[in-house]
Structure 1
Amino acid sequence: PLERAAEAWQAALRSCQQCRERRGEAAQAHTAALRRLALAEADSGRQAQTLAALQAEWEAWLAGQCLPPKLTAAAALDLFPLIEQAQQQLERKRKAVRRCETLAAERDAFERGVFAKLGETEDGDAVIALKDWKEASDHAAEREHARKRMEEERDRLTEELSLISPGIGRAKARIEQLLQDAGASDEEQFRHRVRIQEERLRLEADKRQAEALLDAAIGPGRLERLGAELEGRSRDERLADMQTLRGKLEETKREADERRERRGRLHAELEQLEGNGGQGDAVQRLAEQTARFAEQANRWSTLAVCASLFKKARDVYERERQPGVLQRASEHFAQMTGGRYSRIIAPLGEKRLAAVTPTGDHLDSSLLSRGTAEQLYLSMRLALAEEYASKAPLPLIMDDILVNFDRERLIRACTVLGQVATQHQIVLFTCHPHIVEAIGQTVPGCGSVRLEETNV
């Protein structure tokens, strides 16, 4: 127990010592706090003096700025942006006023310049004077532009006139030649003769159509025989023949009347026979067959006439209306073939060529021999070149196109080439000496150039 008491006393002694240490520390802290308080009070006094000085300075500044003396700093901060905006508005106003003054001065100077150049108007408005001047200037510019355009048109027409003057001269010469050929003294008489010629052509067409109808009606070939018989007889004999024919016509009419009467009687007898039995059905079938045969006969005659007319019209078209290319090609082809074929045609509505013999027979190009077919195609080529020469004559270049011709065909083809060579330059390449010899014989004056192998 004594040890516990000693330990408790030691603990209490240590606790007392600690309390004394804490009290000393608290006293030191109190002393330091008093010192800081004194310093703070002294600093607060200085701050109050400074605040009073600043307040006085603030109030003096507000008075200098003509602001309310009770205005706070916070309110001043809100007021400053408005003041800056007002100052900016005032500055813009001053600039606008200065700009207006400048523009007014420029306007006055402009009006003085306008009046000095254009003269003053009655109302003294420079804008009206300027508008009047602008309209007058625009009118003057339009007139100048129109003048230049007319001058350009005059120059163009002058140039066109200079270009077409030779053509006009040739046209006038051609007109004079046509008038002379037609035996007309002026254009009116020429047109009158043209109308007569057109009427003649129309009558000839009507004549050909009538002849076709007569051929279809009386048979082919009989019309020529009748025409030959009539040409060999005099007018009196023709009148006598006409009277005879009229008599025969009257007799034929009487016979027709008699036959109609006989037909009526037969028809009556037939009706009587029909009442006797089954013969009526056979008679009915015979009548139907007869009517059908008559209808078919009428249709055949119509189709025969139409076919004959179509054939004649097609032959006339293929003979007289073929293009210039085919006409030239026909001349060359007839000369190359020695007259075995008279012309080349392109059948109406078909894309092929055919050779026509002097007797009128047509032979398709696919059925010709190789030599004759090449003669046909060479004739077409030469005709096309001659047709195009009216626009721009060009040389013809050929490469061994005569190699498949025999001696007779070769000579005729070279003769045609010589004729074409008078209007076109022809360059013919060949490696066959007999072709060179044939051309030299048939085309006098032709040039020959031998190409060596080293030059090729």
Structure 2
Amino acid sequence: MNDYIAKTRKEITDILIACNISPKPSEVGVSEIDALNVALKTALDNQRKQAELNEKLDDTKREIKKLSARIANWQNELNELMKKAQAKNEDDFRYIGESYNNWLKCKDKYEINRRNLINLAGNEEAVKSLELELKETDSFSLSSEKEELERNIEDTNKQVQKSLQEKGELNEKIKNILQDEKLSNLLFEQKVKEEQLSVTVKRWATLVVLQSLIKQSMEKYERERQPKVLQEASNYIKIITDRNYRLMKPIGEYSVKIENADTMERKDEIGWSGGLADQVYLSVRFGLAHAFSETSEPLPIILDDVFVRFDQDRQLGTAKVILNVAKSHQIFIFSCHPLTREIIENAIIEIGLNDSVPLTHYIIDDGTIMKV
């Protein structure tokens, strides 16, 4: 029995030491057993908390796995959408999306204007008749009719103002002579004036609608019926700017403007950058050369460091235009930049000219001209 007690006390002492509890020098008593009991409960509680944390950790890992799978699915969907849109990267995809949204806005705007036009004209047949009439009308007739309508609108506005003033005067007179025996005559005169005013207002509304239609027709004419030289120059500037801009000469003006193909915003020469101004000038010169070649022998064209003020995209677009003009003209390009040859060769590859346009390179070294 004593051996059992001694053995038990030794086990308790070992457990106390393992739990970092210093046993008393005297024999192990109830207090040490209570301390062990507290330590055991604490250990069990910590074990339970650890199990709960492990369970939460497993749940978190599973949730992360699910989220990773969803992200992968989204990435696959994004890649599929980019593939369908033929986008090179996400920025390109966003650009395509913005372009599509802009197209939808323009489409909605067109449909709204179309409906408004139908409401003003009455029906589709009337709109078609109006479009046909506008196509058969020249710019001089439109300009003359516009001036006449503006004069009529101004006269009508004056008449409206005069009628409104007369109406105010009549109301004041009616107020002052309500009991006068001439009231019936004045009321009749007022009725006549009101009918005249109604007719005048309807006429004014008609003239306003016609003014709007004429303005739209003039804008369409300015975009579609430009002089041949300017048409050629506009085609060249479209190639150089990747169809971002086109050239036009407004009716009655002697200046050339550029129009943004997406926003229809027009810019005068004062709003052009240095590079854009050079590109417009070059396009107009090519247009003049093309027009001149139709009536006489084409003359050689000499260009000096034409790519200096252009960015990489505009350099490639300009090279395409030069190669296009080179089909009917001999072109000399002088440059001290070694990349000029590379720009021309890249343009040949991109548009697939191959050997259809003869191309020869020369270098000048110490006063000697040598063929490359």
| Band the TM-score falls in, shorter-chain normalisation | 0.3 to 0.5
**Structure having the higher Rg:** 1
Q: TM-score, normalised by structure 1?
A: 0.37
- TM-score, normalised via structure 2 length: 0.44
Structure showing the higher helix proportion among its residues: 1
Higher relative contact order (CA 8 A, sep 6+): 2
